[in-house]
Each structure stands twice: as structure tokens, then as C-alpha cells.
Amino acid sequence: MQNKGLVTWLLILAFVLLLLNMPAMVSDWTKSTVRGSVAPLQHILGSASLRLDESITVFRGLGGMIRKNREMSEELIQLRTRVRALEAAEGENLQLRAQLHFAQRSSRHLIPCEVIGRDTSGWWHSIRLGAGGRDGIFPDTAVITSDGLVGRTTEVSARVTDVLLLSDPGCRVSAQISRTGAHGILEGGGEPLDGLVRCRLRFINKSIPARAGDEVVTSGLGGVYPQGLLIGYVEKVYLDKGGLYQYADVIPKADLGMLNYVFVVTEEEDILADLLRETGPVRGAHE
Amino acid sequence: MNGLVMIAVLFFGALVQSVLPPLRILGFASWPVLFSLAVYFGLARQRVEALCAAFLAGLLQDSLSFIPLGFSSLSYCVAVWIVFRFRNEVFIRAWVTHLIFGALANFGVILALAIMLIGMGFVRLPWTLLVWKLAGGLVLGAVTVSVVYPMADHLYSFLGLEYQDQKA
């Protein structure tokens, strides 16, 4: 009996050790499979929970407005993103006209997604979306709401996608201050117990003063986040201890604690850019 | 049959845990539904079932979060092993037992995960929040195990799958 018990423990220990030392590919596949099998029911439960929330709101006298509000939010986000994309495209176009040397231009597409869950472990600030690879979502793409940037996709399986929120200390975004154009690296400050989410914009050039209220947007550097997505506003500016840089507290515009619907921003390569690459930049552009 | 019920119960536990948000007031400690089920199996079921439940609960927990695969399984297995080791010294159906075992075991699991996750650089957490999370883990562990144990126990009784030692 004693031996049987020992064998059981040793077997389980062996399994755990095997799990801990799995190659990344096998580990990812295992995770993806388990998440995929839980996803349909999670989707139902998440949707039910969302509908319950909405029903409660209806009883509070805001009925009828919810759908309209959602439709308008979707339209607003489409329009805002389009304006920002056009602004970026305008600047880019001017540059191209001057140089006639560019490799690629992109257009943005928004994939609407429902939030079906939050991080179950309590160690990360993340949400789970009810759409995945089969809907055209890839890892490391920006996620936004009508208010602004929310985070980026991390683990994507066929039906669900995990999103690391801006508030997570592990989430870093290359950002810039709209007014001055000064660049910096934005990182999550966790979610303090008072509930007010703050991020920190580090490494801002100290010779370009930032001030409270400045708008912070994505810079487009790094390849994950497209240029010009609104992140939030500067709350307070500090001088680095070493005196080399400024850093600032930034309050994200999007309410990261109340996310029901979000949009994944995907970029599709412009066919024209492909053609230009094939035929040669200068000649192709003139034609 | 026992195995199927165990898998179904853990699956359902994972679903419930995924819709229960971590509590800000308790340092963002999550509701340990899966772990509570593992504790139930450790207290009330056979050794093999208890260990398999701990292993699978950990696997589910890790798969549904960013925790690297195996971390939760290791923590849960050690915790369930300790629970199993001491279950003959206590009244396993008393709510005080669930309260104390739940609180201490969940505290231990959060501490073990913190050591692994912070030590290996997967998570950055100020120590004040960690202390708060550990305290939250104590409370949520006590509450969740106290709720989950009777429910799981009733389910197994209803299905006529009571463990022989329990009937005695």
C-alpha cells in the first residue's frame, strides 16, 4: 500500500517535471488546445454575463440606448481611426512625394470582438476576447476601443485571443506626445488599490518640456502599434533622478476596468505597394 | 466514471473561475475555484484521484492564463499532497477544516507561484501589493473552499460515487 502511494506520487511528479520542461512549441500547442476546448462554453458564459449586465442596465432605465450606443461607438471608432489613418497617410504621402522611395503602405481594418473573460490567475492584467485566429487575429496586434488604445494581443488560438492590457507592467508601448512629438516608452504601472490606472512614459527628451494635459499617442515605432492611436493624457511630469530624461504619469483614456467590446487593429498590405516593389519604386509611383 | 465526473467538475470550475473577476480590494487575488476543487479531492477522495485532480486543475489554470505550463500543477500537487497527508488528523467534513485548510493552502500556493513568477521575471509586482495579494488569498481560499467543498460533496453523493472511507 505504502509502495503504491509512493509510485503514484512519483508518477505525478514525473508528469509535472515533463510539463515544466516541455519545448515551447508543444507547450503552446497544449495551451491552445485546452483554451480552444474551453472557449465555446466560456463564450456562452461570458455572453450570458454580459447580457445580464445589460439587462440590469435596462431595468435601471437605460434600455434601448445600449444597442444604439454600441452602434454609435462602433461608428465613432471607425471614423476616428480613419481620420488618424488619413492624417498619418497624408504625412507619409508628402514624404513619399519628396523622396519617391517607400517600401510599404498599409490600411487598417478593425475586427470587433466581445470580451468574454478576464485573467483567471490574478497575476496579469489581461482580458480574453471571443474571436481568434480564424477571425483574422494575430499575436502582437493593437487592441482599441472608441476611447483609445487598450493593449495588444498575446496568445491567439482559433477561437479566443488573450490581450495584455496597458495597465500591466509587462506591457510596453512606443509612444509620443502629440503636441511636441517627443518620443518615450510607455509602460503599465499595475492597477493600484485606489483603482486609478496610471502608466508611466519614460525616456522623454528633457529639452522638449512635457506638461500636464498633453495628449499621448502611439509613435508607430516597433511595429506592433500603428501610429497615431490615442493612449491617454499626461497627468504629471517629473525629471529623472539622473537628470538625463523626463518621465510622466499618463492616465489612459480607455477605461480598462469596464471593457465589454473592443476592436483588434489589423493592417493589410496595400496591393499597390506590392506592385511598386515588383516594378521598382520610382517608375511604379509615376505610373 | 469517477474520472469523467472529475474532468467535468474541473472543467466547470475553470469556466466559473474565468467569469469571476479578481478582487481589487484583496490585492487582485483571484477566486481559487479550481484549486478549491483540488483541495476537495485531496480531503475527500482517493490518493490517485486527488493527485490527478491537482495536476489537471493546474494544467487548466495555466492554460487559461499566462502562467507557464506546469507552475500551477507543481504548486497544486504539493499543496494537495500536504492536505492529503494531514487529512486523517482532522474532521474532513467540518466547515472549520475547510476554512483553515482553504486559507492556508491557497496562501501557500500564491506564495509558491509568486516566488516562481517573480523570481523568473514573468511578473513584476511591488512587495506591498504582494503582501496584500497573499492576505487576499487567505480570505478567498477560506471562502471558496468552504463553498466548493459541500457542493462537490453533494454532487458525488447525488451520483452515488461516495468514497468508501467517507461512508464509514
pLDDT value at residue A12: 84
pLDDT value at residue A6: 79
B67-to-A27, A192, B59, B63, B120 alpha-carbon distances in Å = 11, 21, 10, 8, 11
Whole-number Å distance between alpha carbons of B52 and A9 = 10
Contact call for B113 and A123, based on CB within 8 A: yes
pLDDT value at residue A273: 45
pLDDT value at residue A105: 46
Contact call for B124 and A46, based on CB within 8 A: no
Q: Is B157 on the interface with A (CB under 8 A)?
A: no
pLDDT value at residue A278: 46
pLDDT value at residue B33: 93
Question: pLDDT by residue (tens digit) across B7-40?
Answer: 999 989 988 888 887 777 887 888 999 999 999 9
Whole-number Å distance between alpha carbons of A6 and A14 = 12
- DSSP code of residue B23: B
Whole-number Å distance between alpha carbons of B159 and A270 = 60
* pLDDT band, very low/low/confident/very high, at B139 (cuts 50, 70, 90): very high
- Chain A residues in contact with B59 (beta carbon < 8 A): 19, 30, 34
Contact A264, A143 (CB under 8 A): yes
Nearest to A12 among B24, B55, B64 (CB): B55
Nearest to B15 among A30, A31, A38 (CB): A38
Other CB atoms within 10 A of residue A167 CB: 23
Question: pLDDT by residue (tens digit) across A192-238?
Answer: 766 778 889 999 988 888 888 889 999 888 878 888 888 999 998 88
Please provide residue B126's backbone torsions phi and psi, each rounded to the nearest 5 degrees: -65, 145
pLDDT value at residue A103: 41
B68-to-A273, B7, B103, B117 alpha-carbon distances in Å = 40, 21, 24, 9
pLDDT value at residue B165: 60
Whole-number Å distance between alpha carbons of B50 and B2 = 11
Contact A229, A247 (CB under 8 A): no
Of chain A, the percentage scoring pLDDT greater than 90 comes to: 9
Residue of chain A minimizing CA distance to B54: A12
pLDDT value at residue A96: 62
pLDDT value at residue B134: 92
Residue A287 scores a pLDDT above 50: no
Residue with cell 512635457: A210
Of chain A, the percentage scoring pLDDT greater than 70 comes to: 83
